[in-house]
Amino acid sequence: MATLVLDQLDLTYPDGTRAVKSVDLTVEEGEFCVFLGPSGCGKTSTLRMIAGLEHPTGGEIRIDGRVINKLYPGEREIAMVFQHYALYPNKTVRDHFEMPLKALRMPKEERNRRIAETAELLHMTELLNAKPRQLSGGQAQRTAIGRALIRRPKLFLLDEPLTSLDAKLRLETRTALKRLQEDLQITTVYVTHDQEEALSLADKIMVMHDGEIQQIATSYELYANPVNLFVAGFIGTPPMNTVPADFVSERRDGIVRAEAFDLHLTEQAAHAVQAAAGDGRLVAGVRPEDLIVTEPGGERELGGRVTVIEQQGDEWIASIDVAPGTIWKVRTPRLDTDELQTGQRVGLRIRPGRLRLFDAISGAAVY
């Protein structure tokens, strides 16, 4: 159990690429922190610097206040689970569990006790003598987790550990992992490119892009109030619908004018836009579930033709061409909308308070 602090952490490769740019982050004791971003965003490099497998070119890494930049990986009291588990084909599950304990020069009885305990925790007692090729994907994954946890590390690092599992198992393992972390209260850093995984697991999410921090927030906050267009587009499947629009002041409130339709702003939103003092060029964004299908409206009202309908359990995801070349997706309960047909014209209404506005140039959230 420990607090992890990254202070102005920087990584520049010999060829001049700056993979990580001045990252500041605090992970509290017992917290589950997820680094999220597309491939090449610097999340894995950051994790590898914490593990000691990569050497920062600037900044500090502190565990419980102590700078660990110069320590060898084995001296950092950390544990790591790799994407492809990194199991040794010639060693049994027991051997895998025993290896880190041997490195600590732990006496034999103590080792056996720990192995039995960890195997029990992960439901692997029966499998201790199996070799990796005899294990299923989920069991191999648990072996990797067991090997990491058995030395009771201060910090638990995971690099895309669920990627090689199939969809069903991934879901199950995700839940099991979250429960395990909550039970053990171990400070955890987890790297993934899968936004749903991040949202479901994390106490705190750090979104990265091009080596820079975009936003650090809880799942809930990240989904509801993305700080910029990148985060808005990265979080959510389907992602947030967006359209370029210009702000037009009108009496007390205002409207944003897109190519094919106008959206009315609340007083608060209009204020926020005016306060932001941009040039009025915005991008409007709405999440698919914040749109409600209605009867087709008049000219310059939001709506369009249904191009595709995709079922998702008790819901439909309908694609609607709200403007030439712009398709918005709407999530709508299937049971309430008996009559939605491909090709049909529909109107759309935005749930109150759910319209988001971003600056068209910087991408930063305005409201």
Partner 1 sequence: MATVQLDHIRVDYDGKTVVHDVSFSVDDGEFAVLVGPSGSGKSTILRTITGYAPIDAGTVRIDGKDVTYAPVRERDIAMVFQNLALYPHLTVRQNWEFPLKAAKLPKAEQAKRVDDVARMLEMTPYLHRYPHQLSGGQKQRVAMGRALVRNPQLFLLDEPLGALDAKLRVEARSAFKTLQRDLGITTIYVTHDQIEAQALGTKIIVLNDGIVQQVGTPETIYDNPSNQFVAGLFGSPPMNLFDVDVSRDQGVLIAHRAEFSIALPPHLDIEGLGSGASTGAVLGVRPESLRLQARPGEDSIAATVFVVEPTGHQLIVDVKIQDLIVRVRADRGEEWIATLTPDEIVHVTFDRRRLFLFHRSSGDRVA
Partner 2 sequence: MSAAIPANQVKHRGRRFVWYLPAILITAVFAFPLYWIGSMAFKPARIVQNYPPSFRFSPTLDNFRQVFDSTYPDAMRNSLIIAVGTAVFSVFCATLTAYGLSRHNFRRKDNLLFWILSLRMLPAVAVIVPYSRMVRWFDLQDTYAAMILVYSIFNISFSVWLLKGFFDEIPKEMEEAARIDGYGPWKVFTDVAVPLVIPGIATALVFSIIFSINEFLLAFVLTQREAVTAPVALTNVFITTFGVNWGGLSAAAMVLVAPVIVFAVLVRNHLLRGMSFGQLD
Query: 202-232 burial, b if ≥16 CB within 10 A, otherwise e?
Result: bbbbbbbbebbbbbbbebeebbeebbbbbbb
3-state secondary structure of 365: strand
89 binds, among partner 1, partner 2, none (CB under 5 to 8 A by kind): partner 2
Handedness of CA 270, 276, 282, 283 (dihedral sign): negative
Phi, psi of 309, deg, nearest 5: -125, 125
Q: How far is the CB of 11 from partner 2 (least distance, A)?
A: 17
Site residues, partner 1 (CB under 8 A): 166-168, 171, 174-175, 178-179, 182, 193-196, 199-201, 219-220, 223-224, 235-239, 287-289, 307-308, 310-314, 317, 319, 329, 331, 334, 342
What string marks each residue from 41 to 60 as x (binds partner 2 by CB under 8 A) or -? ----------xxx-------
Could you say which of 11, 36, 80, 282 contacts partner 2 (CB under 8 A)? 80
Stretch that binds partner 2, among 56-64, 86-94, 239-247, 342-350 (CB under 8 A): 86-94
- What is the side-by-side order of every strand in the sheet holding 326-333? 291-294, 345-350, 303-312, 315-323, 326-333
Q: In what order do the strands lie in the sheet with 356-359?
A: 262-265, 254-258, 241-249, 281-286, 356-359
Instruction: Considering the complex, state which of residue 194 and residue 246 has its C-beta at the smaller distance from partner 1.
Output: 194
Q: Of residues 1, 67, 86, 248, which one binds partner 2 by CB under 8 A? A: 86
335-354 binders of partner 2 (CB under 8 A): none
Q: Degrees (nearest 5) of the Cα angle 193, 238, 330?
A: 165
Q: Which is nearer to partner 2, 88 or 308 (CB)?
A: 88
d(CA 74, CA 105): 13
Of 100 and 280, nearer to partner 2 (C-beta) is 100
| CB of 297 closer than 8 Å to CB of 320 | no
* Residue 83 binds which entry of partner 2, partner 1, none, CB below 5-8 Å type-dependent: partner 2
Report the residue number, 180 or 255, with the smaller CB distance to partner 1.
180
Which amino acid, 270? A
Choose the one of partner 2, partner 1, none that binds residue 134, judging by a C-beta under 5 to 8 angstroms depending on kind.
none
* C-alpha to C-alpha distances, 87 to 129, 167, 330, nearest whole angstrom: 14, 22, 44
Binding region for partner 2 (CB under 8 A)? 51-53, 72-76, 78-80, 82-90, 99-100, 103-104, 147, 151
